[in-house]
Structure 1
Amino acid sequence: MATAAYALELEKVLQDDLTCGICLDFFNNPVLIIKCSHTFCKECISRHYKRSRANPFCPKCRGELHPNILVENRSLANIVGSFQQVKTQRSKRQKENGLEFWRDYQEASGSQDLKLSVDFGLHQLKDVVKIAEIPQQIEAAIEAATAWSRDSITMKDSVSQIKNSLREGFSVMRKYISHQEEAVLNFVDKEYTAAQQRMNLISEQLSARTHELLELQNNSEELMKTTSLDQEIHTGSLIEVDKAKHDVQKIYSMIQTVEEFKRQLGMSVLEKYPIQLLQEPSPGTNSVKEIHTNAAEGGTASSISSSKSQESLDQRSLQETSSCSSAVSPASDSPVPMIRSQYSQWASSVTFDLERLNHRLELSENKRKVIVSHSPLENDHSPKKFRKSQVLASQGFSEGCHYWEVNTRDCLGWAVGVARAEIDSSDKLGRNELSWCIEWSGNRLSAWHRNKETPISKEKPLLVGVFLDIPKKHLHFHSLTGKETNLHCFNINVANPVYPAFWIYGMDVGGSLTIRDVKRS
């Protein structure tokens, strides 16, 4: 473990040394400034030189910069290539082993890294000390004990957040399975009723045919007197046995479809993300094997990423049951009540910014709806894009009053607020001094700023109005569900532009947030 930790730390240091200070990405065709020995991408430093042609200087030390003093750094280029190749191979192995799931889950749920002060103060403690060093050792021991106590609280909060995220994730899975179960059972009932009616009809036709043939047999002597043996006699209407067979076959075909559905669910979770890849639990806790077995037997071995399974089931088994499917459609199809806000006179046009969009999200054509994608763009990791499932709006506000509304009905977990443009791509909304938000997570609504949580309620607003009053330094949040209700108000000093900001629970595939088009009153 120590070797692995050292390797990861070494990788981080190397990555920093192999990163261009202008584009913040790995060096691409690196060139060296001879006079100061600083290195940049050739294209990056060329653009910088053109922009500052009047007084060109090195971006790092502001020393002299001229194209004549740039030389290609081929050795560094080779190192960068080798480093990227090794890192790509390691990432590929991790993904094949299923470890990628836990990184994806952390980004999707917005959970914070659990950083413990494991070695805080411990390196200062000695097994053998001089008498004169005892006061310093006491101070070091107290500091270490304080750090460990703080870590205990941090771990408790983090575990609570992880459990809440897991509950939400499994809630989605149960809801998905429940909908599919109800749809399939309704389909089977419908087909059984149709098949039974057809079989009853055939039974009646066969009885009538038998009766007709018996009548003919009884009258055969009379018939033979007037007709020949080759004479054809109508014995009743056509019996459509093939249609009855088809109805019965459709019911039995559901067995194969459901088995395929179960198999794909197993592939999506138990094979792609095997639970046994987790570390073995501490002595006295449940084994990983027991957890694995319980998950499989409990019917929760499903995954949000199993959208292909849903498509297969819908296309192969439910193509003739549109009425059945509509009977189990989720409640999210019903519209959000239309309420006119008192702040609609300050309505502003707000759209999502594609450049700040996390790779697991996608936008509608008008950029007013953000959706958790079924097929994330895994290679889209530009520095400006959030690493968590978040996005900013394109519009920034630095003066006046502004109002916008967000439909949250189709999303299990979300946050709505504002943030400064300088917010780091790895930060979650409300966990720093650059962002303010209200968040629905773990079945409760809270306000967040500077990593401080203020509980609001346990009722989920389906439509949220946000009013930014820059002259009065206020940021208001209102619920427009049923009636307009004040949720929370921040005191906010807007020295620099702030942008509408959004977080969406990334494991809720297909979940969405929508910015409503509010007309000014």
Structure 2
Amino acid sequence: MAANLVKNLQEEVTCSLCLDYFQDPVVIIKCSHSFCRDCIGKHYKEVGTDVKCPHCMQIFQWKDLMAIRQLANMVEIIRKMGRETEEISEISRHIEMVKDAIRSREKDMDEINENLSQIKGVITEDFGAMKERLAQEEGEILRIIAQEQQTAQQKTEEIIGQLTSKLNKLAEFKTQMERGAHNSLLKQLNVEGEVCTGPRVTLNDEKIVAVTSAVEQFRKQLESILERDTKQLPSEFGSAKYQAAPKVQPGDLLAEISVASSCPEPADSSPDPVISSQFAPWAENVTFDLERIHRQLEVKAENRKVIVSLYPPRYKDSPNRFRISQVMCSQSFSSGFHYWEVITKDSAGWAVGIADRKIGSGERLGRTELSWCVEWTNGQLSAWHRNQKTPLKEGRPMRVGVFLNLPDKNLSFYSLAKEETHLHTFEINILEPVYPAFWMYGLDEKGSLSINHIKKE
């Protein structure tokens, strides 16, 4: 009702010639019709003689015009009311989004409590089994180590005795050489060497290495089981169902211990590589436009990152500045192939797309004829155009690629993680250049979107 009242008042203070709010309003005394001074003046000059009121066609003279200061004041009040009404509408939308988020979080918490109860029981059971298994395997491994150490010590003592005997022979040989009896002693040494020659005795270090390897392998198996149990906890309090870690049957480890066993190589713990898009050759270096950005948003990192800020900078006045939590890029495209990527993982609600330069300062991305986007809000991914929503089955993407194919007149969106997943494609038809555009959830304090730097291949 309040919005209709404001609309009716706006119509009352609108000039019928320029269809805008009155500027320096004047009234024709004879018929009481009001116009902007410049508008009626232009009309008066064009007609010349026998000038008639554009409304009632009554003839009037320039002296019949009178300024109306009260009407000018009313125009300013109604202008302010219109702005406040738009702000109230935006706040109402934010409130509804917050309510939806609270309801969603309450539902998630119920699922989390249920999952935690299940996880607690399973972990208790698994840890009891692992503790018993550990005690058994520890005793067996220590017994094997003690046996192998005793055997190695005996072999070592035998080798030391043989080496000591040979060293004494060499010392005696040196002494005899110094006395001039080299030939006779050399012959004697050869004969004795044949007596000492026998099977080669070597220290069985391989068994020690094998046992050490088995201990290390057993430790890693335990760590692996613990890691699998820990990973079953819901990520960021999500609702993933817990799956118990498989139990290792007793005796598996000892069956792997042999003289020829070796230490297993550690598993690759490096993170999954960041996939490179197939559209990288058409990558564009796009940056945010400081004249097409809402006052509560702040740009950083060489105009490649935008955040919701409590203390944004003071931007200069611009008629094109958005009145909603939205921003466009400086670069525009009217032909060819173009690609850019947006990191969305740090924003609770966002929209990524393109728009014509003429999009209104209060018009949201995807709600107009010449804007297209993919949007994540209220836990749902969807595509928007002409205020029409198309739900998408994919989950929340952490990195979004945008490919603009103007020769074929289509716009495609992709999710980039371990692989490149197609999200949605629009058929577009444009006559004017389009710009990359973005919407952010205005109450997401410190939430951010970042334009990913792509190295052309």
TM-score by length of 2: 0.50
Structure number with larger C-alpha Rg: 2
More strand by share: 2
